[in-house]
Structure formats: C-alpha cells, structure tokens
Amino acid sequence: MTSFEDRKRGFEGKFAHDEELKFKAMARRNKLLGLWAAEKMGLSGDAAQVYAREVIKADLEMPGEEDVFRKVRGDFDAKGIEQSDHQIRRAMSEMMAEAMNQIEAEGKA
C-alpha cells in the first residue's frame, strides 16, 4: 500500500509543480506581451513597464487568456494601432514560447 501512496504523492507533487510552472509562464508571457504592445504604442522605459504590469493584472480578471487579448485589443484600438486579431494572438503564442524558454533556461542555471 505504501508504494501506491508514494506514487500518489509523486503524481500530486508533479501536478503542483507543473501548475506552478504554467502560472509563471503565463505571467511571464503577459509581461512580454505587455512590453511588445507598449513598444507598438510608442511607450518605453517606466511607462512600458507600467503597461506590462497592467497586462499581467488583466489576466487575473477571468479564467483563460481572453481578458489579456481584450485588454491589448482595446488599447490598440483606442490608440489607433493597426494590429489584426491574428497578429495579437500570434504574438501571444510567440511570447508564451519565449516565456517557457526563459523559465526552462533559469531552471538549468
């Protein structure tokens, strides 16, 4: 029975670890996306960092990533920035891959 309990604890530990990494990757992706969007809107320095934090906070509104997309889409529309929905979603995917690479590299260091 102990081997079953050990396996159960192992799976629970792996699940918790994977969820933590997923959360970190999403937050990192949102920061990278926020910095990308800030650059498109002509923001730099502290203003870009503040905007990136706003994008991170937007992800806490609802489950999923639609709240982040709506934030960036709305801000681009308000500023007259020409980016299609596809371009924004592609940037979100690219930033997620970059976030995962960064977190993986940090884990190896």
For 8-66, the pLDDT digits (tens) are 777 777 777 667 888 889 999 999 999 999 999 999 999 999 999 999 999 887 778 89
The pLDDT value given to residue 1: 58
Domain 2-108: top CATH class = mainly alpha
b/e 16-39 (16+ beta carbons within 10 angstroms → b): eeeeeeeeebbebbbbbbbbbbbe
Full-model pTM: 0.82
